[in-house]
Amino acid sequence: MKTKILLFLALLFSKLTFSQELKTFGKGYTKGVSVNASSNSNSGIKTLLGTGFLPNAKASSRFLSQATLGPTFQEINTLQTQGIEAWLDQQLSLPPQFNLKNYVQSLHQYAFDSLHAANPIDYQTIEDVFVDDWVFDVAWFQGNMTAADRLRWRVSLALSEIFVTSRISAFDNNPYALASYYDMLNKNAFGNYRSLIDSISYHPAMAVYLTYMNNHATDTLATYPGSPTKKQVFPDENYAREIMQLFSIGLYKLNNNGTEMRDANNQLIPTYNNNDIAGLAKVFTGLSWSHSRYLGDNSNVNDLSYTKRLKFFPMDSSDKYIRSWITNPANWRIVYGHEPGSKTFLGQTIPSRPVQQGEQDIQDALNIIFNHPNVGPFISRRLIQHLVTSNPSSEFIDRVATVFNNNGQGVRGDLKAVIRAILLDPEARDCCAEKETNVYGHLRSPFLRYMNIVKGLNLHATNGIYRNVMYDLYDRIEQKPLNSPSVFNFYQPGYVPDGPVQAAGKVAPEFQMLNSLSFANYMNAVHRWVISNDPLEFWGLFSNETYKPDQEPRFDLTSEYTLAKTNRLREFLDKYNLILAQGRIKPENMSIIENVLKTMPMDYETNGDPDPTLADRKLRMGIFLILISPDYLINR
């Protein structure tokens, strides 16, 4: 076996020519090639794929930079002995390890208990205590810093920026809505895409954000007690449009490899039109929750209805409203019910059925979307862009979309198989990144850089509590979970900046957030986080809460002080180049950083150790310079 492996490794990058036709194998190219192993194992093909081998330190760091929100030094070392595939198997088998809604509720209960004990008259029930949206941020950060399912959190962040729901313009700053939605993403991250879009469609956070809560049937006369006029109304089309454009099939018909189809006139072929939007909008009618009064109602900001699936209210065409007995029998709740009749979109017709069976319309519509041939390449490209590279090759997309279409066991939409296929793809694992190195990889988004820092510098709270409201963080970098300025995310997947990327015909989505001001803000933020050692922002849950310094952990570099010696600076820089930049900072740039640090003063104690204050300052400056270097910012 050893002799055969050496033979194939020797041929790994060979190119053979037969009859003027160039044939390439190795580095992931295995078409028409089989490899037999003397052990009769079917894994011999891995000698050409590059998978199955234990990664070195740089390959470990690079993989973890794609599969987590930032590797630690310990994780990099562990992966070198565990192996990538074993790590993936372990992570994909983990159930969700943290429930954000429960954590929000526990903080809410803690605030109530404290206020009630001090003032039982004003605070008699938990509803008397308001909790703001930053409580969700605290829960999110706590979960990310403590949960073992590291891959799930990376995938869920990607999903949150594809299936966008945002607190901006919605929810009245309700942390329960945000926490419940994110729990839903965590739950579905390794499930099936069909279950994911079902959960999204029935989630009240999405229904409020994209305004199909209490969506009304066509031609319903909006009459209710006190109504000044009677109006002709039509179903809200917001969600119908976005579920197609942004969540499933996109604007134009695609080949399985993600390239756009063309008609006989070489024009792009739209996937849907306004009639399709109108037809699908009729499907998403009659969804509400028990106490809502009107379109988009979310009157009780602490109400746990945000954590429950929407209810289906069929009614019939003669029943325009229904009394709400939840709070006051005199209050009328306007519910328009489900659209009767057939619904046609994407070339298919959902049959007419009694409105009492109208919920089947929703399931039929989701099945039509799920089985559209665009979904595989569309979702595959989006996930690859978030995890690996902004410009995946058509071959990369085709391989992943093929897994989406069939996971090998006849199952369509298996996200666990899709994530595995993305992270193990030869193009993802090619540590040399020789393909189009000028445009390969992606710019790390500002929030991902922040998480790289808190993980890479091993932020640790002795009591295990991380209360980080991320308010100043967002003010500086304009990004944090579920706070997108629009349904199109913080940046669009097809964004093209001027310059070499445009000239190459490529895209660079995260560059939409990059300009001279945003980069200056980022550098100032890194200075605060690293140099000033202020990476978290602690707020009190209620007035007069006792300040807890141990809930504001800092970066502790004490164990690294000996590396501040002039003759060991490169050792220190190499370590953090590995942790933060996957060892990608060019030698000439490393030399520049090293020379800057050598100019900084350094005194030594009588035992020969560096002065702690000066050593700390020097090491933090080294990390700061790594974090603002172009080689770090672009993750290849």
Give pLDDT tens digits for 367-389. 999 999 999 999 999 999 999 99
The CA distance from 380 to 382, in Å, is 5
pLDDT in tens, 559-600: 999 999 999 999 999 999 999 999 999 999 999 999 999 999
Please report whether residue 393 resides in a domain: no
Q: Which tokens belong to 256?
A: 């399985």
Please report whether residue 516 resides in a domain: no
Q: How confident is the model at residue 556 (pLDDT cuts 50, 70, 90)?
A: very high
**Whole-model pTM above 0.85?**
yes
Please report whether residue 528 resides in a domain: no
Q: How many domains does the chain have?
A: 3
Residue ranges of alpha helices (H) inside 253-374 are: 274-281, 359-370
Q: How confident is the model at residue 179 (pLDDT cuts 50, 70, 90)?
A: very high
Question: What is the reported pLDDT for 420?
Answer: 98
Question: What is the reported pLDDT for 12?
Answer: 42
Q: How confident is the model at residue 433 (pLDDT cuts 50, 70, 90)?
A: very low
Report how many helices (DSSP H) and strands (DSSP E) the chain contains, helices first.
26, 10
The CA distance from 146 to 537, in Å, is 17
Find the radius of gyration of the CA atoms of the chain. 27
Q: How confident is the model at residue 308 (pLDDT cuts 50, 70, 90)?
A: confident
Question: What is the reported pLDDT for 315?
Answer: 63
Q: Which tokens belong to 352?
A: 């007419």
pLDDT in tens, 313-332: 776 444 444 433 334 444 44
3-state secondary structure of 277: helix
Question: What is the reported pLDDT for 44?
Answer: 63
Q: How confident is the model at residue 311 (pLDDT cuts 50, 70, 90)?
A: confident
Find residue 22's DSSP bridge partners.
Answer: 17
Residue 190: is its pLDDT beyond 70? yes
Residue 15: is its pLDDT beyond 50? no
Question: What is the reported pLDDT for 9?
Answer: 40
Please report whether residue 106 resides in a domain: no
Neighbours of 371 (CB within 10 A): 14
CB distance 47 to 9 below 8 Å? yes
Residue 22: is its pLDDT beyond 60? no
Please report whether residue 159 resides in a domain: no
Residue 294: is its pLDDT beyond 80? no
Residue ranges of alpha helices (H) inside 468-601 are: 471-477, 500-503, 516-526, 569-581, 587-598
**Residues contacting residue 466 through CB under 8 Å, at least 6 positions apart:** 138, 141, 142, 145, 146, 459, 536, 551, 553
Please report whether residue 601 resides in a domain: yes
Mean residue pLDDT across the chain? 87
Identity of the amino acid at 224:
Y
Over residues 297-304, the mean pLDDT reads 57
Please report whether residue 469 resides in a domain: no
Of 333, 366, 399, which one is at a domain's C-terminal end? Answer: 366
Over residues 169-189, the mean pLDDT reads 93
Question: What is the reported pLDDT for 6?
Answer: 42
Please report whether residue 63 resides in a domain: no
Residue 100: is its pLDDT beyond 50? yes
Q: Name the residue range of residue 19's domain.
A: 1-49
Of 309, 336, 366, which one is at a domain's C-terminal end? Answer: 366
Q: Which tokens belong to 228?
A: 């000044």
Question: What is the reported pLDDT for 48?
Answer: 60
Phi/psi class of residue 56: alpha, beta or left (left: φ > 0; alpha: ψ in -120 to 50)? beta
pLDDT in tens, 220-240: 455 544 455 555 678 999 999
